[in-house]
């Protein structure tokens, strides 16, 4: 049996004890964005062991109504159960506390820095029972554990906690249940991270004999909505993801992170996929799905946070184009994405081989809609990145008979023997550049190159 430091009832006699800097690592915030269990407040030696811990976090999308404004937030309902056993020869009475705010958000060291979403505890929802009986909970304010570690005036001065009294009789189990609700604040992002800080359990005597951390979803949990950035070792069970431990001597390496696609976004993805399966000729749905994937994949535009979702985007555009070959915006947005793949901010000089797939898509977009704003914007960026490229006015099916064709290397980028840059087959979409143009202009197969429309990309 090891000795440990736990919460001590000293408020009346000694006043509020502030954790020392050497021990603040034993203190952890509550669920989402940072979860934590029972933890030290003041410090004393203890013989109380945490023999069982079960934390259930149920994620729920919630619709809010404020005047005429309707919006969605994510809610996390937390039910944490702790079975404690006093291994000593005398009863122990102490004050347990739970933090009501995040430790790290005030100093810009939040581990969830790849997400805009932050959570706030709904204080009125916080309740504690000991052996099934409700116990009074009071707010306790202390100096912030980071107060002397950061030079940010008035940012980390005070910390707010919920405190409650508990007694542990000798050689008896005591079950403590903590329950509360958290909701997202600020803008809800496409990705959310939820943490559970297991290392705080090291403050109790012995090891944690058995522990479960369970995240419950309102839909089936899959590898698409639970992201690879989550702490390894989790298992799926229908609508749950869970971690299990036995005889755990917790350290910071055991802390849990679950990275998820936000519930509102995931349910939107499921809805759009269902609609497209039934009606693929809905270009606006393909465009929205690609935008959603991009929002999940990227952070601050040029930072990739999910390679898996970034790799899903090309197939969305290609399948959408195959089903809607006359939609200019699908070609234009795919060109925009390909330019992003080359350089998120179109910086540097693009090579001819890199420019060719983008030029092809721009040709298609502007042939269908010469005033397409997305395509024209991509053209402008591409011209800065490719000084060897000049652009002619857009071609259209109605004017193809009056168009001459430049026979330069980019104009002939897709000869009859060249593979088309797209992967998906479809009418007017697969095959060589020449065959693709023929299909859209209804030209006969024997038409010579002078009858084909111009390319937008030409070397100077």
| pLDDT tens digits for range 39-91 | 434 445 788 899 999 999 999 888 777 777 777 778 889 899 999 999 999 99
* pLDDT category of residue 391 using cuts at 50, 70 and 90: low
Query: What's the angle, vertex CA 25, arms to CA 23 and CA 28, rounded to 5?
Result: 120
| Residue 402 predicted with pLDDT over 60 | no
Where is average pLDDT lowest: 9-18, 210-219, 293-302, 355-364? 9-18
Supply the pLDDT for residue 159: 75
Where is average pLDDT lowest: 4-13, 89-98, 211-220? 4-13
List the beta bridge partners of residue 413.
none
Q: Are 75 and 181 in contact (CB under 8 A)?
A: yes
* 146-179 tens-digit pLDDT: 666 654 555 667 777 788 889 999 999 999 999 9
Query: What's the angle, vertex CA 439, arms to CA 433 and CA 442, rounded to 5?
Result: 130
* pLDDT category of residue 122 using cuts at 50, 70 and 90: confident
Q: Are 419 and 357 in contact (CB under 8 A)?
A: no
Give the 3-state secondary structure of 108-166: CCCCCCCCCCEEEECHHHCEEEECCEECCCEEEEEECCCCCCCCCCCCCCEEEEEEEEE
Supply the pLDDT for residue 164: 87
Most confident range, picked from 168-177, 389-398, 438-447? 168-177
3-state helix, strand, coil in the chain (%, to 5): 30, 30, 40
- For the segment 256-281, the average pLDDT, to the nearest whole number, is 94
* pLDDT category of residue 429 using cuts at 50, 70 and 90: very low
| Residue 31 predicted with pLDDT over 60 | no
- For the segment 230-234, the average pLDDT, to the nearest whole number, is 92
Supply the pLDDT for residue 454: 43
Q: Which tokens in the block code for residue 360?
A: 């092809």
Supply the pLDDT for residue 455: 41
CA distances (Å), 337 to each of 318, 325, 340, 367, 411, in order?
12, 18, 5, 19, 22
> What are the structural domains, with CATH classification, of the chain?
4-264 (2.60.40.3680), 287-459 (1.25.40.10)
- For the segment 306-316, the average pLDDT, to the nearest whole number, is 95
Nearest to 176 by CA among 94, 246, 241, 248: 94
In terms of pTM, does the model score above 0.75? no
Supply the pLDDT for residue 147: 67
Supply the pLDDT for residue 104: 54
Where is average pLDDT lowest: 379-383, 404-408, 412-416? 404-408
Q: Are 198 and 256 in contact (CB under 8 A)?
A: yes
Mean pLDDT of the chain: 74
The residue that leads in pLDDT, 202 or 368, is 368
What percentage of the chain reaches a pLDDT higher than 90?
Answer: 39
Supply the pLDDT for residue 154: 58
| Residue 334 predicted with pLDDT over 70 | yes
What is the CA 234 to chain-centroid distance, rounded?
A: 18
């Amino acid at each position: 049996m090891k000795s440990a430091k736990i919460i001590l009832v000293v408020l009346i006699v000694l006043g509020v004890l502030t954790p020392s800097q050497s021990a603040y690592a034993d203190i952890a915030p509550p669920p989402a964005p940072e979860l934590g269990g029972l933890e030290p407040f003041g410090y004393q030696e203890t013989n109380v062991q945490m023999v069982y811990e079960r934390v259930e976090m149920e994620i729920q999308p919630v619709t809010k109504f404020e005047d005429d404004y309707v919006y969605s937030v994510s809610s996390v309902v937390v039910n944490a159960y702790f079975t404690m056993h006093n291994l000593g020869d005398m009863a122990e009475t102490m004050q347990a506390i739970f933090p009501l705010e995040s430790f790290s958000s005030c100093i810009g060291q939040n581990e969830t820095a790849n997400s805009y979403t932050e959570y706030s505890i709904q204080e009125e929802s916080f309740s504690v029972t000991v052996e099934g009986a409700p116990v009074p909970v009071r707010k306790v304010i202390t100096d912030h554990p980071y107060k002397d570690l950061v030079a940010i005036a008035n940012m980390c001065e005070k910390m707010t906690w919920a405190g409650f009294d508990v007694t542990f009789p000798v050689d008896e189990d005591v079950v403590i249940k903590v329950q509360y609700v958290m909701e997202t604040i600020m803008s809800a992002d496409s990705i959310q991270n939820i943490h559970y800080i297991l290392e705080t359990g090291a403050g109790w005597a012995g090891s944690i004999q058995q522990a479960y951390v369970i995240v419950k979803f309102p839909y089936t949990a899959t590898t698409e909505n639970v992201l690879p950035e989550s702490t390894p070792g989790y298992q799926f069970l229908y609508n749950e993801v869970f971690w299990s431990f036995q005889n755990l001597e917790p350290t910071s390496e055991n802390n849990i992170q679950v990275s998820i696609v936000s519930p509102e976004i995931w349910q939107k993805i499921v809805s759009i996929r269902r609609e497209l399966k039934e009606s693929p000729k809905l270009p606006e749905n393909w465009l929205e799905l690609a935008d959603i994937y991009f929002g999940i994949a990227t952070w601050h535009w040029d930072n990739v946070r999910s390679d898996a979702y970034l790799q899903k985007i090309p197939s969305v555009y290609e399948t959408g184009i195959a089903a809607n070959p006359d939609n200019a915006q699908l070609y234009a947005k795919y060109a925009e994405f390909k330019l992003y793949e080359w350089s998120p901010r179109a910086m540097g000089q693009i090579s001819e081989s890199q420019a060719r797939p983008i030029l092809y898509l721009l040709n298609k977009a502007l042939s269908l809609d010469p005033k397409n704003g997305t395509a024209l914007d991509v053209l402008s960026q591409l011209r800065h990145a490719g000084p060897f490229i000049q652009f002619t006015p857009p071609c259209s099916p109605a004017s193809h008979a009056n168009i001459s064709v430049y026979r330069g290397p980019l104009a002939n980028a897709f000869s009859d023997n060249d593979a088309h840059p797209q992967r998906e087959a479809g009418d007017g979409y697969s095959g060589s550049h020449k065959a693709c143009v023929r299909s859209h202009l209804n030209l006969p197969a024997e038409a010579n190159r002078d009858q084909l429309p111009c390319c937008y990309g030409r070397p100077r």
